[in-house]
Chains A and B, each alone.
Chain A
């Protein structure tokens, strides 16, 4: 009896070691950063009649940015209804998407940032006689939601935002915030700045804005990982939005769709009035972007320091990445037909229904020309 019991305990504890080890390994797999809650709500209002299928058929594999996953899902629903082509877009992240593309596993990739020179070099191995190019397709404002009781119209400028997120300004009644909001009743309340705990394209674009507009107050190199110390971290845009809702005195950044049921900061850009985040104000900002890609590449340089009226400066653009020449013959017709649809007026209209910003008319016109020339 005694022996048996001891052995059972030993077996149990051995099992526990193995299980906890295995947990630590497998748990990674379950982490999906694309916890968007409104994937299913896309309305079918855009008519499917305008979709030209050409000889598109079969199945398309794609992977990349989780920020545009909801938009792609909405498009795929329309497109596969019209053409019967199955498109499987995994939103496993921009980095994973680009890697899958340069390894020739996917027809196109989605990415929050344009291809880097070394990635273009790598793409030449999959694109026969060609190279990977960036096509801007989806825009979106990054809203700053806040939870300060009694304050409804908070205005901040880029320097103040940088100081708040770098824990230099710690209280809502700070003189710098008062100066920007002379009429507001700012409470004596600790500021809790929420950022993303995992690497994210939203963090990347938000800190790009801070670096471009307030280099003296934001002295970090930028990137997908949050670098400043202090504040609160939460997982996913949903987690950050939840944190802001739950905590009085909190402020956080996330895509517009998460800011629906809270108030968001209007940014003082130098325009005649402070700008609130919206689909229109983001499109207005992207309109001022410069195309810095060469040849067929359409990589954009966003104007973070914009002073135009009603142009919201914290905006991100996500790209579809594929070969300009040398796309695989079996997937090319379907890829072209799909991209032609999403770049069409109807396709771009789907975006604003899903809280994304459409790409401005003159840029999307160039994208359409590029798509027609794909081979």
Chain B
């Protein structure tokens, strides 16, 4: 639209558009190209909703088949024996493991990612920030199975020292005690997930911090703020909702990560009190491990667990959206 007004302004000899022409331009969808483009975009939007609905219906239907046959409690049973007759299975361990590994990943990744984003946008010389941003983008392009292999072959053996140190100094907490098994436990999974979600959080946060109005920063500087105070008073409040959104994107990846977890974790159907003792499991890892030899009813049970993951992801995203909405009026973004 801007372009058309500009061209009209730039060429005074053309007569002003007639009433009919102006109306047509306002409706916008008269030329075939416009109509096709409108149809394509609208179609894509509807297609997305249809796919989501189809997935939800499929998951719910197959899940209801499985849950009706379950002789354990679907929510509290610490077992996954779908090939027994009657089958006994429950998602307690999986839900716990999924949430715990994601929390560990978020606690480790978010502060580092925000720090990297701040460094790139406000501290690093331009010559340095370009290459660093490029490397971070590369991290995002590595397939998860490669992270998994790296985790299993390199990270796990090298975690022994850290695990021993944590056990020596923080073993008394209970959640960081270690019995000396191979470190294929939730903490290792959390660290690996943190590395995997780092790029997405960094990239989105960087974009958000870059959008901070120059005037805000200059105003803060004019009031005598140091650089740290500028970041604290102008950049962080403005970027808060964006950082939360970025974290949610990362969390989505951490919750659903499959192959990397399946390669690194030593799964079992019990909950370990300590993050350092092997055991536990996540939804996606369990589906990957059990799908190959699953019978019909085993697959239904896995699909039921997939539905729970779907719901957890929706709830988490809804909560994040709510936080952003509530914070909006206080944040610098509205100034």
Contact = CB atoms under 8 A, between A and B. Distances in A.
Contact of A25 (B262, B293, B306): B306
A174 interface: no
B305 to A, nearest CB: 9
Contacts of B258: 23-24, 27
Interface stretch (A28-36, A39-47, A262-270): A28-36
Contacts of A190: 179-181
Q: Is chain B's interface secondary structure helix, strand, loop, or mixed overall?
A: helix
B263 A23 contact: no
A250 B180 CA distance: 12
Contacts of A200: 293
B256 to A, nearest CB: 4
Contact of B292 (A12, A27, A31): A31
Interface string A62-84: 00000000000000000000000
B249 A12 contact: yes
A17 interface: yes
B67 interface: no
A223 B288 CA distance: 19
A28 B289 CA distance: 8
Contacts of A243: 182, 184
A233 interface: yes
Interface in A128-144: none
Contacts of A17: 252, 313-314, 317
A9 B252 contact: no
A197 B267 contact: yes
B287 interface: yes
B287 A27 contact: yes
Interface centre among A5, A29, A31, A94 (most CB of B within 10 A): A31
Nearest to A225: B81
A328 B181 CA distance: 53
A192 B270 CA distance: 17
Given A17-B314, A20-B255, A33 B292 contact: yes
A93 interface: yes
Contacts of A197: 262, 266-267, 289
Contacts of A20: 252-253, 255-256, 313
B156 interface: yes
A30 B287 contact: no
A2 B270 contact: no
Given A2-B333, A21-B313, A27-B284, A198 B242 contact: no
Contact of B293 (A2, A198, A232): A198
A294 to B, nearest CB: 24
A233 B313 contact: no
Interface stretch (B48-56, B114-122, B131-139): B48-56
Interface centre among B48, B180, B182 (most CB of A within 10 A): B182
B192 to A, nearest CB: 15
B264 to A, nearest CB: 10
A169 B145 CA distance: 35
B157 A246 contact: yes
A280 B245 CA distance: 62
Given A16-B248, A17-B317, A18-B52, A23 B256 contact: yes
A9 B245 contact: yes
A234 interface: yes
B157 A31 contact: no
Contacts of A375: none
A27 B259 contact: yes
Q: Chain B, interface size: which category?
A: 35 or more
Contacts of A22: 55
B262 A235 contact: yes
A93 to B, nearest CB: 5
Interface centre among B245, B292, B317, B320 (most CB of A within 10 A): B292
A13 B284 contact: no
B199 interface: no
A1 B238 CA distance: 14
A92 to B, nearest CB: 7
Interface in A88-104: 92-96, 99
Contacts of B245: 9, 12-13
A32 B253 contact: no
A247 interface: yes
B186 interface: no
Contacts of B152: 239, 242
A229 B314 CA distance: 33
B26 to A, nearest CB: 21
Contacts of A192: 181-182
A232 B259 contact: no
A16 B320 CA distance: 13
Nearest to A234: B266
Nearest to A20: B256
Given A192-B182, A225-B80, A233-B268, A16 B306 contact: no
Interface in A228-254: 229-235, 239, 242-243, 246-247, 250
B204 interface: yes
A94 B248 CA distance: 41
B276 interface: no
Interface string B247-283: 0110011011111001100111010000000100001
Interface string B298-335: 00001000100110011001001100000000000100
B284 A95 contact: no
Interface of A: 1-2, 5, 9, 12-14, 16-25, 27-33, 92-96, 99, 190, 192, 197-200, 223-225, 227, 229-235, 239, 242-243, 246-247, 250
8 contacts: A9-B242, A12-B249, A16-B252, A21-B256, A93-B292, A225-B83, A234-B184, A235-B262
Given A28-B302, A31-B291, A199-B294, 20 more contacts: A9-B242, A12-B245, A13-B245, A13-B320, A17-B313, A20-B255, A21-B256, A24-B306, A28-B287, A31-B262, A31-B288, A92-B292, A93-B293, A94-B293, A95-B295, A192-B181, A197-B289, A198-B292, A233-B268, A247-B182
7 nearest A-B residue pairs (beta carbon):
A20-B256, A199-B293, A27-B258, A28-B291, A16-B252, A198-B289, A20-B252
